[in-house]
Structure 1
Amino acid sequence: MTRSVITELSPAALAEVVRLERSRNYLWPGGAETCLLLWARFVRAADHRLWVDNHGGCGIWECCGDPYLAREFLEGLMLAMSRRRGRELRRVVASIDVDY
C-alpha cells in the first residue's frame, strides 16, 4: 500500500491526509499526492489551456487522468481537513494554482 508523501506538509498534516485517504470514497492510498502531481504537471505545461478531455490516452490515472477532477479531489480533501492542517495543503495547492 502506498501513501501520500507531500514534502511541503508538516507531519501532522500529512497524517491527516493519510487518514482521509483511507476514509473517503473519492480518494485512495497515495491519491492526494497523485492528484497534486497531476494538477501541477497540467498547470505547468505550456499548452495547458488547450487541454481537451477526449477520453483517450493510456487510461492510467497518474498519466492521463483528468486534471480538473484531480483539482476537485484536492478541494474536497482541503475542506475535509481541520482548519489548521487544511491551510497547509491550501498553501501548497495555491502555489500551483497561481500558474493557472
Structure 2
Amino acid sequence: MARRPPGQVRVNLPRRLRPGQGRTIVSGVSARAQSEIAKFEDACLWPAAIADAVMRWSGTVHGPARSLTVPEFRGCGVEACCPPDTHPRKLLAQALRGLPPSGSRELRRLVQPLDDLYCSRTIVDSYADPSDAWWLRRC
C-alpha cells in the first residue's frame, strides 16, 4: 500500500504557534468568540488588533477628562506606519460589524459599558462634522 511522505502530510496540518508567538486575547470573551476574533483579525486586520483596541478604548474612557477632548491616537504621521483608520473605537466598530453574531454579541457586551461611560463623560459637539463617527462628534 502506497503512503504519502510525512512532509506531505504535515503540509495540510494547522500550524502550531511557537513559544512567544501566542495570540493576545480579549479578556472577558469565550474561547469561541476569541477564535472568531482571531479569524477576523487574520482576514481583515493584524494579530491582537482587537485586544489592543479594547485596551486603548478603555484607557481613553477611564483616563483623565482632559484626554477625552483631545484625539487619543495621532500616530507618527507616516501613512505606512500609522494609518488614520487605527482609532481604537473605529477598529472595534469594524469588528462588531464583521464578526459573526455570537462573537459580535460578546464583544459588544464588553464595549457597550465603555461607550456608555464615554457618553456620560462627554457632550455632543454641535460644531462637529455630521459625517464623522459618533465618538468623534463628542467633546
Q: TM-score range by the shorter chain?
A: 0.7 to 0.9
Candidates 33, 41, 54, aligned match of 2:59 = 41
AA aligned to 1:17 is I
Provide the secondary structure at the position in 1 that maps to 2:60: helix
Q: CA RMSD, aligned part only?
A: 2.6
Distance 1:7 1:54, change over 3 A: closer
**8 Å CA contact 1:4, 1:18 repeated in 2:** no
- Per-residue displacement from partner, 1:26-80 (whole Å, max 9, x unpaired)? x2101110011011101111223321469477x9xxxxxx8x8210111111111
**8 Å CA contact 1:4, 1:17 repeated in 2:** no
1:50 and 2:69 correspond? yes
- Distance of 1:54 and 1:39 partners within structure 2: 10
Q: How many pairs align?
A: 91
Identity rate of aligned residues, in percent?
A: 23
* TM-score, L = length of structure 2: 0.57
- Distance of 2:73 and 2:105 partners within structure 1: 34
1:96 and 2:96 correspond? no
- Distance of 2:46 and 2:108 partners within structure 1: 19
AA aligned to 1:44 is H
* TM-score, L = length of structure 1: 0.77
Unaligned runs of 5+ in 1: 60-65
The residue correspondences of 1:4-15 to structure 2 (distance < 5 A) are 4-15=24-35
Whose helix fraction is larger, Structure 1's or Structure 2's?
A: 1
Say which one has the larger Rg: 2
Shift >6 Å, 4+ stretches: none
Instruction: Compare relative contact order (CA 8 Å, sep 6+) and give the higher one, 1 or 2.
Output: 1
